[in-house]
A = this chain, B = another copy of it.
Amino acid sequence: MNTEELVELGQQLRVDSIRAADAAGSGHPTSSMSAADLMAVLLAHHLRYDFERPAHPGNDRFVLSKGHASPLLYAAYKAAGVLDDEELRTFRKLGSRLEGHPTPRRLPWVETATGSLGQGLPVGVGIALAGARLDRTGYRVWVMCGDSELAEGSVWEAAEHAGYERLDNLTVVVDVNRLGQRGPTRHGHDLDAYARRFRAFDWHTIEIDGHDVDAVDRAYGEALSTRGQPTAIIARTLKGKGVTATEDLEGLHGKPVKDADEAVAELGGPRRLTVHVQEPVTRSAQAPPADGGRPLELPRWEKGEKAATRDAFGQALTALGTAREDVVVLDGEVGDSTRAGLFAEEHPDRYFECYIAEQQLVATAVGMAARGRLPYASTFAAFLTRAHDFIRMAAVSGSGIVLNGSHAGSAIGQDGPSQMGLEDLAMMRAVHGSTVLYPCDANQTARLVAGAAGLEGIRYLRTSRGGSEVIYGPDEEFPVGGSKVLRTAGADDRLTLVAAGVTVPEALAAADALAAEGIAVRVIDLYSVKPVDRDTLRRAAEETGCLVTVEDHHPEGGLGDAVADAFADGSPVPRLVRLAVRTMPGSAAPDEQLHAAGIDAEAIAATGRLLVEQAMVP
């Protein structure tokens, strides 16, 4: 396209953005209009993409980090010929593919869900890393950001990661329209404020007028030819560009243009330009085989051995990596603690050190998953809370990732509450479509590490710091959604203890103590916290009447709630007591912690005894 045609295409994208929002009665046309020329030139001259084959390994990857500018994205899809005008006008309506913020659940050309600002670049870095280190099919990653979202620290985690990794296949385009939601941004049109920040993180930067299509074209060309560095194009634009009633004006964020017809007329009316988007480079990638051709040989422990579940995690993950070449592992600079580092020794090419940047850790996993990998990302359970919004958005994307939180609970001991994951089960259970697994011994951990690979969505594995006795044989199976009854006297049981992870040995000791007193106790190892084994819990409720749940977690949202939920369909429920960490722990030895929190064998036995007595009173 020549300059004039590019200008025309930009106007068309504006017109269609306005019309889409007008049909919806909501949406963000002004945020779309500022970036329209940037989008037009990218689409017409630089993006290499086969819209008929979104899975083509050579396709460039485009991420609209400023997801609220979805009208622009959909207008671009229309210009590329893959949406028609009728569909464009379903924008934001029930059942439409064209959501308020784009998601890959609905549209095959969307790489990752955006709408929580500051996430597009981090995920883009993950994709670019996959491109540079794994796929090597020559695709580029283009991320379009707003200026407001550069206040998010996650953007600078991503900038640091990309700069350090010299990802020259990555270009970020910043649409500096100077206006955020409620008014001017911190830096207005000071392009250098953004450029010098990116340069400090070792990026190549280009400052341009984002409405000068030739300058935009040259900038993209310069980005393409830049080697050894990612490029940030910092583009001065005007919000609501092209329409007198909106251009560079405050108070119009997220609002349809008032008089859409007049605005469209001012822009020169609707156009019917179609863009022939360039074909992707043809180098074909081999999809990494899920079955690496080698059988999975999980590590094995004998009953009675002592091992930490985090050790089992690292060893099993390494074995899984040998069997499956699609497995990649990421860690937040604690791989020696989480034991993800064991994988690095065997499979260094598929291990990605993300340093202490948990948002980027999860974003990299999401990016790798978007490129067909099966990522396992690890850090302390406590620090996964840092990435909560990224995990939430990964679920919106329908992303398939495995998260591992180690050093969970008060059982870590002396390091104190800042390092204890006491909220992670609540966080991970509430993620849509998640699976939450909490093993108590090494063989169980190994099986669950492998089992998690076969699931969809967000999977969470909670592991522990300290060693514990191996109680299961190496051939025992642990289906997701199942549980294990570890002690039972059948119909004689008068109480059920439900435990997981570090509280399983405590529950077993309590059961033994109560059995010695003549109280038969059932013990359930509820390793699958979500989905939960309703049948076994209900049977226990019916047969024993009394349940005690015990968890190394705050009382809200964890094991206790999972058990209660098993009875939340109107069926009769048992007497239920929850033991959990109700205090704010300090520093102390692991056994002192469990004792202080009232979740050790002694506390469990005392509670069980009381409940059984209470149940005997009619």
Contacts and interface: CB of A to CB of B under 8 A. Distances in A.
Given A105-B584, A430-B556, A584-B105, A416 B99 contact: yes
13 contacts: A92-B416, A103-B416, A106-B586, A164-B186, A182-B333, A386-B389, A388-B427, A422-B432, A429-B556, A432-B554, A433-B584, A570-B611, A573-B573
A383 B149 CA distance: 13
B155 A160 contact: no
A398 B584 CA distance: 9
A222 interface: no
A117 B530 CA distance: 30
Contacts of A152: 153, 157, 356-357, 386
A67 interface: yes
Q: What 9 A-B pairs come out closest when comparing CB atoms? A: A153-B153, A115-B418, A557-B557, A200-B200, A426-B430, A564-B564, A153-B157, A156-B156, A94-B588
A92 B573 CA distance: 43
Nearest to A615: B570
Given A26-B413, A94-B587, A153-B156, 14 more contacts: A94-B588, A100-B415, A114-B418, A148-B333, A152-B356, A160-B186, A182-B334, A385-B392, A388-B423, A395-B584, A427-B430, A430-B554, A564-B568, A570-B576
B565 A180 contact: no
A430 B580 CA distance: 11
Given A153-B152, A416-B99, A584-B432, A180 B570 contact: no
Interface string A152-196: 111111101000100000000000000011100110000000001
A472 interface: no
Interface string A559-590: 01110110111111111111000011011110
Nearest to A160: B151
A5 interface: no
A56 to B, nearest CB: 27
A382 interface: yes
Interface in A332-384: 333-337, 341, 355-360, 382-383
A413 B25 CA distance: 12
Given A388-B386, A418-B101, A557-B557, A180 B356 contact: yes
Nearest to A614: B570
A606 to B, nearest CB: 13
A418 B393 contact: yes
A575 B564 contact: no
A458 to B, nearest CB: 12
A218 interface: no
A51 interface: no
A557 B418 contact: no
Contact of A423 (B103, B430, B588): B430
Given A113-B418, A151-B355, A392 B423 contact: yes
A547 to B, nearest CB: 9
Nearest to A554: B430
Contacts of A518: none
Interface of A: 24, 26-27, 67, 92-96, 98-101, 103, 105-106, 113-118, 148-149, 151-158, 160, 164, 180-182, 185-186, 196-197, 199-201, 333-337, 341, 355-360, 382-383, 385-386, 388-389, 392-393, 395-396, 398, 413-419, 422-423, 426-427, 429-433, 530, 546, 554-558, 560-562, 564-565, 567-578, 583-584, 586-589, 592, 596, 610-611, 614-615
A158 to B, nearest CB: 8
Contacts of A185: 355
Contacts of A546: 570
A99 B587 contact: yes
Given A356-B149, A570-B611, A586 B382 contact: no
B575 A571 contact: yes
B557 A530 contact: no
Contacts of A596: 94
B186 A197 contact: no
A181 B577 contact: no
Given A201-B197, A430-B423, A561 B565 contact: yes
Most-contacted residue by chain B among A164, A556, A577 (CB, 10 A):
A556
Given A181-B334, A419-B101, A589-B94, A573 B576 contact: yes
Contact of A576 (B106, B164, B567, B615): B567
Contacts of A118: 356
Nearest to A198: B200
A417 B396 contact: yes
